[in-house]
Structure 1
Amino acid sequence: MMAHEPAVVVFDGVCVLCSRWVDFILRHDRAGRFRLAAMQGRHGRALLAAHGLSPDDPASLLLVADGVGHIDTAAIAGVLQRLGGPWRIPSALLRWTPRWFADPAYRWVARHRYRLFGQRDACRMPEPAEAWRFLD
C-alpha cells in the first residue's frame, strides 16, 4: 500500500481566527496528517491559485487532500474528519448541515474575520519543534 501525501491546509497567516485554527490542528494532529501553508507564502499562494481561489483575497481556507481542494465548511469538516476520534462528530454535523445555509455563514465570517477576531502585523511563525509542519 502506498503512503498518502499529507493533506495541506492553506490559511491566512495574519488572521487571528485562522492562527487559532492552526493551533487547534497542531494540538490535535499528533500523527502529522497535515501540513500548513500561509496564504501569504509561496506554497499557499500557488495552491490557492491552482484551486481557483484568489491568492490576494481568498474567500475561504483551503484543504487539499489527495489532490482535491475543499473550501468553506467542507474544508473544516474534512480536517475534523481526518483528525478522527471525537472530532468525527462535529465533522458529521457539518456535513449534514445544508450547504446552502452553512457555506454563506462561513463566508460571512471569513469576509469579516479581521474585524471580528483581529489581525496580526505579521504571519504566524511556527515554533522550532513544529516548523516541519509548515511548507513556507
Structure 2
Amino acid sequence: MNSPKLPPNLSSYLRPGDRVLLFDGECNLCHGLVRFLIRADRQTKILLATVQSAEGQAILSWLGLPTDRVDSIVYFEQGCHWLRSAAFFQALRQLGWPFRLLALARFLPQRLADGVYNAVASNRYRLFGRNDGTVLPGADLPGRYLHSGSRRSR
C-alpha cells in the first residue's frame, strides 16, 4: 500500500509509513495507556502526540477530524486512521507478544466495544482525573513524540 504524500506542514516531522497514536494529554487514563504502550512497544513502532499539540492538531486537521473537541484516541498508519476501540486494537497489533494477544478483543462486536469505550471516555476526567498536560509519559525518551521542525531519523 502506498502512503499518501504528506503536506509540507506535516512532512517536517512525519514520514510516510509512520504509525502515530494521538491521545488526550490532559487525561490521566490516557497517560496510563501511553505508559503501557511505551513499555510494550520496545521497538518504538508507534510515535506519540497529544491532540492538544501543534502536531496533533495538524494531523487531526489533515484527516478531516475535529480539532476543538476530541474525545477519542486516534491511530494513524499508511494514510488510514482509526478511532475509539478500533484505534486501541490497531495499536495493539503493532506490539510484540504477549501484548499482541490483547488485539484479539477486536473481534468483539464494534457496537459493544465502542459502547464501552464511549462510556469510559465520556466519564474519564471524573473517574480518573485530569492533569494540566505539561508532563507527558515518556517525554524524556528520544524519538517517542512528534516534534515540529525536527526530522526524525529512521
Would you call these one fold, judging by a TM-score over 0.5?
yes
TM-score range, shorter chain: 0.7 to 0.9
With 60-69 and 118-127 compared, the bigger mean Cα shift is at 118-127
Aligned to 1:69: 81
Using the alignment, how far apart are the partners of 1:56 and 1:82 within structure 2?
Answer: 29
Per-residue CA distance 1:83-110 (angstroms, 9 max, x = gap): 03112222012x2100111112211211
User: What is the deviation of 1:79?
Assistant: 1.0
Aligned to 1:97: 108
Q: 1:10 aligns with which of 22, 38, 42?
A: 22
Cα pair 1:16 1:117 within 8 Å, conserved: yes
For structure 1, which runs of at least 5 residues remain unmatched after alignment? none
TM-score with structure 2 setting the length: 0.78
User: What is the deviation of 1:49?
Assistant: 2.5
Query: How many positions carry a matched residue from both structures?
Result: 133
Cα pair 2:41 2:96 within 8 Å, conserved: no
Whose Rg is larger? 2
Cα pair 2:85 2:117 within 8 Å, conserved: yes
Aligned to 1:121: 132
1:86 and 2:98 aligned:
yes
Cα pair 2:23 2:49 within 8 Å, conserved: yes
Percentage of identical aligned residues: 35
Cα pair 1:53 1:59 within 8 Å, conserved: no
For structure 2, which runs of at least 5 residues remain unmatched after alignment? 1-15, 148-154
Aligned to 1:58: 70
CA RMSD in angstroms, aligned pairs only: 2.0
Per-residue CA distance 1:54-83 (angstroms, 9 max, x = gap): 222112100001111011111111111110
Aligned to 1:26: 38
Aligned to 1:47: 59
More helix by share: 1
Per-residue CA distance 1:22-67 (angstroms, 9 max, x = gap): 1111111110101100111011112222334322211210000111
Using the alignment, how far apart are the partners of 1:8 and 1:107 within structure 2?
Answer: 21
When residues 83 and 64 of structure 1 are mapped into structure 2, their CA distance, relative to the original with a 3 A threshold, is same
